Amino acid sequence: MSEINHRWLKDNHGDRYFPVTHSDAVLGIHTTDWQPLELINGAKNAEGYTKSQYKYDEFFGIKQLTLIIWAQNITEDKAFAKLPEDYVRESGHVFNAVGTIRQYPNKFVIYPNGEIEFAKHYENSWNSSKYAGLETTWQL
């Protein structure tokens, strides 16, 4: 190598390269920035929590989606958010939702068309001022 540029490493031809430990040096990695989750039907982000969002990543052909939901003003069995259909399996998804303490776990149901619904446990009381949350990752 010619000289070491402390800002960027360069090869003998003056082209920039990344050390092996840098993620840009590894082929097969594709990530996106966090995208806001589309909240619908009056739902809103829960105050004081991370905003509802998702992120797509691909590592060596393995595709995955990370989803964060912290929402309130949601009603049972009514869609409150929508993901792009490309990020949902044909069978859909069901996840436990975190919420008010001392309750049975509620659920988030993600349908193949990308719509996300809230389903409360039959023994829980629920009103739209309460919040529900989920942070998960799944392979596509």
What the block records as the tokens of 33 is: 């920035």
Predicted pLDDT of residue 15:
77
Judge whether residue 55 has pLDDT over 70. Answer: yes
Place of tokens 């991370």: 50
Q: Determine the residue type at 132.
A: A
Residue 92, number of CB atoms within 10 A of its CB: 14
Would you list the DSSP string of 14-76?
S-EE--TTSGGGSTTEEE---EE-EE-TT-EEPTTSPPPEEEEEEETTEEEEEEEEEEES--B
d(CA 9, CA 21): 13
Banded model confidence at residue 5, pLDDT cuts 50, 70, 90 = very low
Would you list the DSSP string of 68-116?
EEEEES--BTSEEEE--GGGS-TT-EEEEEEESSSS--EEEEE-TTSEE
14-53 pLDDT per residue, tens? 777 666 665 665 667 788 899 999 999 999 999 999 999 9
Residue 38 vs residue 7, higher pLDDT: 38
Please state the pTM of the whole predicted model: 0.78
62-108 pLDDT per residue, tens? 899 999 999 999 998 899 999 999 899 888 999 999 887 778 889 99
Q: Are 131 and 46 in contact (CB under 8 A)?
A: yes
Predicted pLDDT of residue 19:
62
